Amino acid sequence: MIKSVCGYCGVGCGLEYDEKQLIGNIAYPTNQGNLCSKGISELVSMQTPTRLLRPYMRSSIEDTFELTDWKDAISVIADRINNTNKDKIGFYLSGQLLTEDYYIANKLAKGFIGTNNVDTNSRTCMASAVVAYKKAIGADFVPVRMNDIFKSDLLILTGANTAEAHVVFHNRIKKAKKNGLKVVVIDPRKTDTANIADLYLPIKPGSDIDFFNLVSKRLIDEERYDKEFVDQHINNFELLKNKFKRVPVTKMLKRTGLTSEEFDAFWQLYIESNNIITAWTMGLNQSVQGVDKNLALLNTHLLTGKIFKDGCGPLSLTGQPNAMGGREVGGLSTMLAVHLGFDDESIKKVSKFWKTDKIDNKPGLTATQMLEEDLEVIIICHTDPIYHLPNRKRVEEQIAKIPLVIEINAYDNSETAKYAHIRLPAAPWGEKEGTQTNLDRTITKQERLTRTSIDCKPDWEIFQLIAQELGYGRAFKFETPKEIFEEYQRMTKLNDYMDISEADYDEITHRPFIWGEKIKHFLTSDKKGNLFFVENKLLSEKTSLEFPFLLMTGRTRDQWHSGTKTNLPQTLLKHKPLNFCEIHPNDAKNLGINGGDTIKVVSKRGELITKAMLTENIHEKCIFIPISNREINYLTNDLLDRESLQPDYNHNAVKIERIDHA
Ligand SMILES: Nc1nc2c(c(=O)[nH]1)N[C@H]1C(S)=C(S)[C@@H](COP(=O)(O)OP(=O)(O)OC[C@H]3O[C@@H](n4cnc5c(=O)[nH]c(N)nc54)[C@H](O)[C@@H]3O)O[C@H]1N2
Ligand SMILES: Nc1nc2c(c(=O)[nH]1)N[C@H]1C(S)=C(S)[C@@H](COP(=O)(O)OP(=O)(O)OC[C@H]3O[C@@H](n4cnc5c(=O)[nH]c(N)nc54)[C@H](O)[C@@H]3O)O[C@H]1N2
Ligand code: SF4
Ligand SMILES: [Mo]
């Protein structure tokens, strides 16, 4: 029996494998034996005929791919990197890579090639939460754990659909409810998650800042904030209090679309609860004011002192299995390594550790900037930016201009492959080993369950081959992921709060290691939390007479993003169809649309074909299309949050045309 962990979402469930089947690990803390359909189907996905099994090359994207070998492919890549200005080289990584993969890619790019253009799809996912955590509590640190729901009185879930996106955690919420936990769900759609709520608030998209500001203002006005905590541990209270004196309360409530009765019902629950956790995901992060939405939420925990205490705290629900681990290593262009930045002291420490003098002191390009900066070489690994970046038509035009696009993927049917010149086959989940950090700082380990397919290599090894070919063999002579993990462990000592040296690589499978458990204080330089006054500036794309509907996008339970691993006939994941469009029956009636009709959804930027699904669970004039429709981003706008540079996927003005009756 081999013990491993699921490689899909940030919950990080423990598994057991006995050559025939995969089952949940009963002794594992995050899932206690439970798995969702994606976890159970990991084995099937490993064995699909759509795996990428050989390296391929072509000189132009108009040509067909020709089989090549590793030696030639790596030599072409190294040669091109050697002859390219380092600022024109980019590494586009993924929150689904293992920590060891990330470590090698980051060390190679930032430490030896000398470019900080290393960013990840986490930019489209967690960047707003990262920036806000740093501003308010001093570090990208999640100060509460999933199990805290069992010590909590109230869980507020906002812009998060745990029933479909964090399934096993959702089941644990249901269990905690039996012990008395109350749940509030705030979402413009009455999701499956809302069905378990004690109170469901059908907020209007984009009004979260108004909502949390109303909570903070009332806490101050009714003097229900924790005065002692605020006096001792919090900055900017007077400023916030003064600013709140002049905010337009009635207008704010109106923007949320909630009635005062609904808000009062929430308020009653809120003030009756001792321990409160607020959890959120893409409904807040993916916004042109994503950082401000996060800050408005964090304010409520700083004012009430409901942080660094059991059963309390702001819990950002990381989506990907190792988005948090990737950030710890340094896989964002806005940080160097182990949560250190580009200040002189950090560069000195890291240069000494890596024994290099190549580190540049300016932040690199973010994932949302990389393709528009005329790069000459881009390595895209474990992610599919042509599928996932907003305003796809523009992204396609940009990538088509890059002279060398290298794609490292374990499957052969990504959208990015259409624009690649070199494709390298990676060993997927089950054929490799390494660590990942789940959404609450638990370091877990994926084990290799079967042999690695002949021509496939683990991602770290591919980056190491490039490093060796570039002549950096002395710094890249790792034989196993364990050696990489141990170098990374030593590196975490460069940052006082991140030290994971007590973890034991061989033990992690049985005893996952949780870092940061002793941190019960703010990580800012003055050890105080920072309040911020933020306002809803209504910066998202607005609907108009021509484009009267607001499109939101998101997940369904049994699919995983572009679906290279889940949309397979043999996985038989049939919870919901892959391509549908939720629309309110009143809107459908006005447009002459019946359930099941084929419709065209059009934005200023593009269009797609889908099928109408009538539901009263969505506001009128709002529609929802799941991201299992691979064409989704032809519709979305490319507005970015000014600080996190994360896209605003959930606010797009569109129109709908009926094509055919069902
Ligand atoms: N099955 C499955 N699970 C996954 C994934 C997957 O592809 N499939 N992906 C993983 C990843 S990478 C991520 S990031 C997570 C994402 O996890 P979630 O964010 O929970 O997933 P989404 O479906 O994007 O849900 C976002 C919710 O926000 C709501 N929303 C939209 N706009 C607003 C708004 O303005 N305010 C508020 N309050 N709510 C709003 C939407 O209606 C939607 O229900 O899921 C992870 N888990
Ligand atoms: N409209 C809209 N767009 C969105 C979002 C949204 O909510 N709405 N959400 C955004 C968010 S939060 C995210 S996280 C992104 C996700 O977007 P992506 O990261 O592009 O989505 P995936 O389909 O998970 O891509 C993972 C890729 O890795 C490949 N792969 C699998 N295993 C391995 C392996 O072991 N090694 C390598 N090298 N490759 C492997 C898969 O085949 C697949 O091509 O989408 C973003 N885009
Ligand atoms: S909840 Fe997440 S980690 Fe657990 S089995 Fe499902 S996809 Fe895997
Ligand atoms: Mo994500």
360 within 8 A of 387, measured Cβ to Cβ: no
Dump pLDDT digits (tens) for 412-447.
999 999 999 999 999 999 999 999 999 999 999 999
Dump pLDDT digits (tens) for 393-408.
999 999 999 999 999 9
pLDDT at 233: 98
Using the structure block, give the residue that is written with the tokens 């941190």: 519
Give the Cα separation of 608 and 86 in Å (integer): 38
pTM of the model: 0.98
Give the Cα separation of 248 and 532 in Å (integer): 18
276 within 8 A of 152, measured Cβ to Cβ: yes
Alpha carbon of 48 to ligand 2 centroid (Å) = 18
328 within 8 A of 315, measured Cβ to Cβ: no
Mutate to test the pocket of ligand 1, among 146, 213, 281, 625 (most ligand atoms within 8 A of CB): 281
pLDDT at 252: 98
For residue 572, is pLDDT > 60? no
Structural domains present in the chain? 1-42 (no CATH), 43-124+321-505 (3.40.50.740), 127-316 (3.40.228.10), 549-658 (2.40.40.20)
Pick the closest to residue 396 from 409, 384, 413, 379 (CA basis): 384
Give the Cα separation of 43 and 481 in Å (integer): 22
Alpha carbon of 630 to ligand 2 centroid (Å) = 11
Pick the closest to residue 183 from 172, 170, 196, 167 (CA basis): 196
Give the Cα separation of 249 and 237 in Å (integer): 19
pLDDT at 46: 87
Residues with C-beta less than 6 Å from any ligand 3 atom? 6, 8-9, 11-13, 31, 35-36, 38-39, 167-168
Burial of 569 from C-beta contacts in 10 A (0-12 / 13-18 / 19+): exposed
Residue nearest to atom 10 of ligand 1 (CA): 319
318 within 8 A of 438, measured Cβ to Cβ: yes
Alpha carbon of 483 to ligand 3 centroid (Å) = 28
Q: What confidence tier does 467 reach under pLDDT thresholds 50, 70, 90?
A: very high
pLDDT at 661: 83
- % the chain with pLDDT above 90: 95
For residue 570, is pLDDT > 70? no
Residues with C-beta less than 6 Å from any ligand 1 atom? 9, 125, 158-161, 164-165, 186-189, 191, 203, 205-206, 208, 281-283, 319-320, 552, 554-555, 557, 559-561, 650
Dump pLDDT digits (tens) for 27-65.
888 899 999 999 999 988 888 899 999 999 999 999 999
Neighbouring residues of 93: CB distance < 8 A, sequence distance ≥ 6: 102, 105, 118, 119, 120, 121, 326, 331, 381, 382, 383
Exposure b/e, 512-549, CB count within 10 A at least 16 = b: bbbbbeebebbbbeeebbbbbbbebeebbbebeeebeb
Q: Show the tokens assigned to 185.
A: 């769900």
| Helix or strand (DSSP H, E) at 588 | helix 585-591
pLDDT at 20: 82
Neighbouring residues of 225: CB distance < 8 A, sequence distance ≥ 6: 219, 303, 304
320 within 8 A of 124, measured Cβ to Cβ: no
Dump pLDDT digits (tens) for 527-540.
999 999 999 999 99
How high is the mean pLDDT of the chain? 96
Q: What confidence tier does 510 reach under pLDDT thresholds 50, 70, 90?
A: confident
